[in-house]
Amino acid sequence: MVSTYLSYNLVNRDIKASLNRTGSDPLVARQTEYFKENISKVTTLEEFLDDYQLYSYAMKAHGLEEMTYAKAFMKKVLESDLSDDASFANQLTDERYRNFAASFQFSAEKTDLQTDAQQAEMLEKYEASLAAQGDTLEAEAFYYETMIDKVTNVSGLVNNSRLMTFALDAYGIDGTYYTKDHLTQILTSDTSDPDSYVNQMVANGASNASSFLKLAQAFSFNTDGTLSGTTAQTAAQKEAIVSLYVEEEQIYVTDYYRQRERAYYEQKISTITSVDELTADTRLFNYVKTAFELGSMGASTFKLIVTSDTSDPANYAATNGGDAWVAIAGKFNFGTDGTVDSGMTAQGSTQLASTNSGFATFYDDADLERKDALTELFKTNIAEVENVDALLADTTMRLVLQRTFGFEANEFSVRELKQALTSDFTDPNSYANKSKDSRLIEMSKLFNFDSEGNAAVPLAPHNTLTATMIAKQYVINEVRFLEGTEKTSTQEAATKKAENYQEKIQSIDTVSELLADREVLDVVIGAFGLDPEEVTDDFLKQAFASDLSDRKSFVNQQTDNRWAELVASFNFDASGNLTRQTMGTIQQRGETMETVNKYLRQTLEETEGESNEAVRLALYFQRTAPTITDAYGLIADDALMAVFRTTFGYSDEFSNMDVDQQARIIGENMELSDLQDPAKLERFLQRYSAMYDTENATSNSPALSILSGGSAGISADLLFSLAQLKA
């Protein structure tokens, strides 16, 4: 007689090989191939239930073969919303039904033209593009200030597209529509001559004539194109054009703008001799009004404030603006006649520092309000959009797209933007990808439109249902066997990690990004019942680089199939990029692999049970027991209880006892947490096998054996198992 443990061990010591042998059986191979080939073709629950081969295969895989006949019942299971704790499948005590439902997705995935994660990423890019604008402005200004002084002839400016564009942009002129000859004639016009080229444009009311006149006045060229001075621009002209450029090009005020305005103010304020001189300089006066929050205050009112005699209680500032205006008067050194007090400057160092501080505090307030208002309007409007046409018809959303991705106002037509937005970024032949324009490609990734322009299902490494189930399972696994405050605190921590995973997984685009975020990946590892702390980054890198279709690949060579199932659960292609090819219809790639693995395991257990039912029970216990969370889960499973009763010598009547009493006795005999430890679980099954063989050994009574010379007894294998237990 071969002992149960030896039979079990022959199967389990190389479970991978045992499963491969099972899978190579001609009948099993045909059934498996049929399932893998056809499950992706099914699109409805009715189709699935009507295909008996598919349906029965899946039922057997999940240990529900005896319920295959109950199609109406199983239909309710598969229609359950697993995110709803009150749904039918979630209300059933047997978790096999919930797990079965979780392996299929018959409810249509929710379409969403832009997920929260995509919107957050896009608005981050929007903020980043605005922030980067200051650096761009500074770089262009530095180039202009450096190079314009090297220009010795009008052609040196006109033929330098970067310099010329800078100058044109400063005056709001689109240089696309004007020739070099036209620009040369503008720049060499004698602005004091009514018959000059530029003045004739003004006289005739030509387009942009006033802007071209200002452009001509900003340079010092003779009519023959030579310089009238030592440089193409005086220092004042150069400063003025750079200031105009910054004002014209910045969407919202930048820190570079603040720095320039401060430098200008500090340079000029020391030369001011009267209030009128200050208010006549628009840049200076705007700086002061911003610094002291004076809004649109006029020059006359400001003059009355700063020329107030603050020693007189009835002065203008005190009677009309109270302490606030008196404080402003104290920031300047103007006498009642409007001139700077003798022996002083318009502002001393302390007064200047206070003014600079005020400007730095308030200079961007209005723009921040405008920016925030535009962002909020985008969020509001995008929530109402149903298709790409509505998106592009909304001027607010078009403006945000333009600023986020760096488009010029008319750089792309509506048709081109629509083609980009409806591109599948995973398809190399899509419009966006073929354009090679990184801006269009990036934009296509942050929206979800189908080829018709309607909202589509978002593509992410894990879809919504998969992510929800992983998050739930992770929390369940983390709190298993814990009690009291330890359970509460662990559950809170696990829930936060699970929520972080659900949020971040939506914005991950590649395997590299996933591997770089162990916090996210460790939640998935934990949800699959694996220990993240025992997994190295190198192991994970090799696992995700494996070819899932190659049985000899790294991940498929692992003894534990869960590693391959984990990798397969992600929507990544062989290159590590997102793909739609893994999404299937009613089952994702990972779920199909899991179903096949479960089917092979069920078949293996059944096959072994034909020769020794105890081996089947041992294999079942070895597979299932680690998922048990408490004694009641053990009690609810007849097969698991049969193993427990045999191991500890309880009769079948044990199951007739009060459930709570059964749970108490189970707790007295074993630590359920030990079942998580492979070594302890193996020890337990060794004991079960020995006890089973002892209980079922075929022997006659001792007297009869002696009288009849019978030779029945305990086998050498069983004696070896018992000896091992004592060791």
Given a cut of 70, whether residue 82 has pLDDT beyond it is: yes
Of residues 136, 144, 158, the one with CA closest to residue 237: 144
Instruction: Identify the H or E element spanning 480.
Output: none
Position 725 scores a pLDDT of 44
Helix H, strand E, coil C: the string for 160-200 is CHHHHHHHHHHCCCCHHHCCHHHHHHHHCCCCCCCCCHHHH
Given a cut of 70, whether residue 726 has pLDDT beyond it is: no
Average pLDDT over the chain, rounded to an integer: 92
Of residues 379, 287, 368, the one with CA closest to residue 332: 287
Position 711 scores a pLDDT of 36
Given a cut of 60, whether residue 681 has pLDDT beyond it is: yes
My answer on whether 568 and 591 are in the same domain is no
Q: How confident is the model at residue 93 (pLDDT cuts 50, 70, 90)?
A: confident
Burial of residue 251, with CB atoms counted within 10 A of its CB: 0-12 exposed, 13-18 middle, 19 or more buried: middle
Of residues 715, 727, 671, 669, the one with CA closest to residue 689: 715
Dihedral sign for Cα atoms in the order 170, 173, 177, 180? negative
* pLDDT tens per residue across span 465-482: 899 999 999 999 999 888
Taking residues 273-291, report their average pLDDT. 97
Position 1 scores a pLDDT of 58
Cβ atoms < 10 Å from Cβ of 101: 25
pTM of the model: 0.75
Taking residues 63-74, report their average pLDDT. 95
Domain membership flag for residue 387:
no
Gap between the Cα atoms of 426 and 412, Å rounded: 22
My answer on whether 263 and 198 are in the same domain is no
Residue range(s) defining the domain that contains residue 634: 614-696
My answer on whether 595 and 637 are in the same domain is no
Domain membership flag for residue 224:
yes
Domain membership flag for residue 602:
yes
Query: Domain boundary residue among 585, 603, 633?
Result: 585
* pLDDT tens per residue across span 375-410: 999 999 999 999 999 999 999 999 999 999 999 888
164, two tokens: 């010329």
Domain membership flag for residue 416:
no
Nearby residues of 414 by Cβ (< 8 Å), 6 or more positions away: 392
Residue 349: CATH number of its domain:
1.10.3700.10
My answer on whether 591 and 573 are in the same domain is no
Q: How confident is the model at residue 721 (pLDDT cuts 50, 70, 90)?
A: very low
Position 211 scores a pLDDT of 96
Domain membership flag for residue 182:
yes
| Number of domains the chain is built from | 5
* pLDDT tens per residue across span 565-624: 999 999 999 999 999 888 767 898 999 999 999 999 999 999 999 999 999 999 999 999
Given a cut of 80, whether residue 506 has pLDDT beyond it is: yes
Of residues 262, 350, 297, 356, the one with CA closest to residue 305: 297
Q: What torsion do the CA atoms of 310, 316, 319, 322 make, to the nearest 10 degrees?
A: -60
Domain membership flag for residue 289:
yes
List the Cα angle 636/637/643 in 5-degree steps: 125
My answer on whether 35 and 82 are in the same domain is yes
Taking residues 627-647, report their average pLDDT. 91
Given a cut of 50, whether residue 704 has pLDDT beyond it is: no
Given a cut of 50, whether residue 210 has pLDDT beyond it is: yes
Query: Domain boundary residue among 249, 267, 283?
Result: 249
Percent of the chain with pLDDT over 90: 85
519, two tokens: 């916090």
My answer on whether 503 and 555 are in the same domain is yes
My answer on whether 471 and 581 are in the same domain is yes
* pLDDT tens per residue across span 420-431: 999 999 999 999
Given a cut of 90, whether residue 201 has pLDDT beyond it is: yes
Position 351 scores a pLDDT of 97
Amino acid at 533: E
Partners of 221 in the β-ladder:
227
Query: Domain boundary residue among 197, 230, 249?
Result: 249
- Taking only Cα atoms into account, the Rg of the chain, rounded to an integer number of angstroms, comes to 40
Domain membership flag for residue 49:
yes
Q: How confident is the model at residue 2 (pLDDT cuts 50, 70, 90)?
A: confident
Given a cut of 90, whether residue 502 has pLDDT beyond it is: yes
* pLDDT tens per residue across span 15-62: 999 999 999 999 999 999 999 999 999 999 999 999 999 999 999 999
My answer on whether 233 and 301 are in the same domain is no
My answer on whether 499 and 510 are in the same domain is yes
Position 696 scores a pLDDT of 85
My answer on whether 569 and 487 are in the same domain is yes
Phi and psi (nearest 5°) for 589? Answer: -55, -45
Phi and psi (nearest 5°) for 340? Answer: -70, 135
Greatest mean pLDDT among 94-98, 104-108, 208-212 lies in 208-212
Gap between the Cα atoms of 303 and 279, Å rounded: 8
Domain membership flag for residue 489:
yes
Percent of the chain with pLDDT over 70: 96
My answer on whether 215 and 269 are in the same domain is no
My answer on whether 268 and 161 are in the same domain is no
Q: What is the DSSP letter of 483?
A: -
Position 584 scores a pLDDT of 67
